[in-house]
């Protein structure tokens, strides 16, 4: 057992004297089919012996044209694109997208729908951080942590499935609320999850937090100072590890986050180890939010009563001609938004996820620009790995937590 505070950060000179002239450096291609790139990322490393002199990330291998596809689908149909971008936190993407539309149309969302969204988003955060922990640990050779993390992520997927019918691509939001109310017995299942998680997070920490090899492999590596992190547009746990207290949930509260009592962990060192700690603490904070949301879950409708946006309830269809017309119009051509431009952002497990929506008054977005946290965070990779060993490049890349679906869109 080592106390992480007493392990002195490694002092590797920023650029220790090159062993060989630049012309002799070897170019090593990591990816796009490399086991540790967390997707199809290609990183071109210039190496001098085992020391990296230059790193150049090439993205685009997973480009699917989501942003363009949004322009061809109605607002409701667009929801199914959103969760396929960051496929490890689909509910957060769903919410971010509909928030942009709701902002455009100035819609109010009922409190119960807000609470359900918060619950789903925090579950997704726990699942995403859990998966990150597993894969980052796997990068450094801890096989067991990987299996523990996946076991626990499965509990979240079970909850997703019980609620939305789908384990990953939930698409549970609708403009103005959520698609359906919680099924019977779901809250008990959620309570069981909240109860089982803290000891499991303790287990992860027991395996890693005080492990001397883990500390050696992450402490003082991939350091980003607060200024650098801000300059590169880094957000999320990576930014907070560098000591900048910025979390969209606190800075620009949405979905009623201001009602919940939770702390946002902020670090100081800005190294890989700190990023790991941030995520573990965020998992605990998310569990607190879940407990509060569960205890105070309000009653009421789960979608706005505005019939121009939300489908009428099923029983009305047999009685009211207007409802049938609304239903037909909404299903066949959707609803039209006013002309305008809006930006809505949410805190995804990777950072600030923003949707910039331009509307020309039709039933489809004129332009949809996504600000993906992974893409912006990835930019800092070159800075972080310069002068490090190849083995560290993997640890550092792992600590940024990129999702290629989010990077390439």
Sorted by sequence, the CB contacts under 8 Å of residue 105 that are 6+ apart come out as 175, 309, 335, 337, 338
Nearer to other proteins, 206 or 251 (CB): 206
Nearer to other proteins, 310 or 393 (CB): 393
In the complex, what is the shortest distance from the CB of residue 162 to other proteins, in angstroms, rounded to a whole number? 22
Q: Give the per-residue contact string, 17-46, with other proteins (x = CB under 8 A; - = no).
A: ---------x-x-----xxx----------
Nearer to other proteins, 28 or 317 (CB): 28
Q: List the one residue from 83, 102, 122, 139 that touches other proteins (CB under 8 A).
A: 139
Q: Are 223 and 241 in contact (CB under 8 A)?
A: no
In the complex, what is the shortest distance from the CB of residue 303 to other proteins, in angstroms, rounded to a whole number? 40
Q: List the one residue from 247, 392, 401, 406 that touches other proteins (CB under 8 A).
A: 392
**66 burial type by CB count under 10 A (0-12 exposed, 13-18 middle, 19+ buried):** middle
Nearer to other proteins, 141 or 300 (CB): 141
Q: List the one residue from 211, 359, 377, 399 that touches other proteins (CB under 8 A).
A: 211
Is residue 279 near other proteins by the rule CB under 8 A? no
Nearer to other proteins, 206 or 331 (CB): 206
Q: List the one residue from 69, 209, 216, 379 that touches other proteins (CB under 8 A).
A: 216
Is residue 144 near other proteins by the rule CB under 8 A? yes
In the complex, what is the shortest distance from the CB of residue 381 to other proteins, in angstroms, rounded to a whole number? 16
Nearer to other proteins, 347 or 392 (CB): 392
Q: List the one residue from 18, 213, 331, 339 that touches other proteins (CB under 8 A).
A: 213
Nearer to other proteins, 92 or 208 (CB): 208
Q: How far is CA 249 from CA 210, 245, 284, 332, in A?
A: 30, 11, 16, 35
Q: Pick the piece of the chain touching other proteins (CB under 8 A) from 132-140, 235-243, 244-252, 266-274.
A: 132-140
Number of residues that bind other proteins (CB under 8 A): 30
In the complex, what is the shortest distance from the CB of residue 221 to other proteins, in angstroms, rounded to a whole number? 10
Q: Pick the piece of the chain touching other proteins (CB under 8 A) from 54-62, 99-107, 145-153, 296-304.
A: 145-153
CA-nearest of 130, 236, 111, 119 to 172 is 119
Is residue 196 near other proteins by the rule CB under 8 A? no
Tell me which residues touch other proteins (CB under 8 A): 26, 28, 34-36, 50, 137-144, 147-148, 151, 207-208, 211, 213-214, 216-217, 389-394
């Amino acid at each position: 057992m080592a106390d992480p505070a007493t392990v002195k950060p490694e002092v590797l000179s920023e650029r220790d004297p090159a062993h060989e002239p630049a012309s002799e450096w070897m170019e090593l291609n990591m990816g796009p089919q490399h086991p540790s790139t967390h997707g199809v990322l290609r990183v071109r490393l210039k190496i001098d012996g085992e020391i990296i002199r230059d790193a150049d990330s090439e993205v685009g291998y997973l480009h699917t044209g989501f942003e363009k596809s949004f322009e061809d689908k109605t607002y409701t149909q667009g929801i199914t694109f959103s969760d396929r971008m960051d496929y490890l936190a689909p509910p957060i993407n769903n919410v971010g997208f509909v928030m942009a539309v709701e902002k455009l149309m100035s819609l109010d969302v009922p409190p119960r729908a807000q609470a359900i969204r918060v619950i789903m988003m925090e579950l997704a955060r726990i699942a995403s951080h859990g998966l990150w922990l597993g894969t980052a640990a796997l990068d450094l050779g801890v096989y067991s942590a990987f299996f523990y993390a996946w076991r626990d992520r499965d509990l979240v997927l079970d909850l997703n499935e019980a609620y939305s019918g789908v384990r990953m691509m939930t698409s549970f939001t609708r403009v103005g609320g959520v698609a359906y109310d919680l099924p019977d017995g779901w809250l008990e299942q959620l309570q069981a999850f909240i109860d089982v998680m803290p000891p499991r997070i303790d287990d992860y920490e027991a395996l890693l937090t005080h492990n001397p090899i883990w500390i050696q492999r992450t402490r003082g590596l991939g350091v980003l100072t607060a200024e650098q992190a801000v300059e590169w547009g880094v957000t999320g746990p990576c930014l907070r590890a560098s000591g900048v207290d910025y979390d969209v949930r606190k800075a620009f509260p949405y979905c009623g986050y201001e009602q919940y009592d939770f702390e946002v962990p902020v670090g100081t060192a800005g190294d890989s180890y700190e990023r790991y700690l941030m995520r573990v603490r965020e998992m605990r904070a998310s569990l607190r939010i879940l407990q509060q949301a569960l205890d105070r879950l309000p009653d009421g409708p789960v979608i706005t009563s505005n019939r121009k946006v939300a489908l009428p309830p099923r029983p009305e269809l047999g009685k009211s001609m207007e409802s049938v017309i609304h239903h037909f119009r909404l299903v066949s051509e959707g609803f039209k938004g006013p002309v305008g431009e809006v930006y809505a952002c949410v805190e995804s497990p990777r950072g600030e996820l923003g949707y910039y929506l331009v509307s020309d008054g039709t039933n489809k977005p004129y332009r949809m620009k996504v600000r993906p946290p992974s893409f912006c965070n990835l930019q800092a990779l070159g800075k972080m790995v310069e002068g490090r060993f190849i083995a560290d490049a993997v640890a550092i890349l792992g600590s940024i937590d990129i999702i290629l679906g989010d990077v390439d869109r």
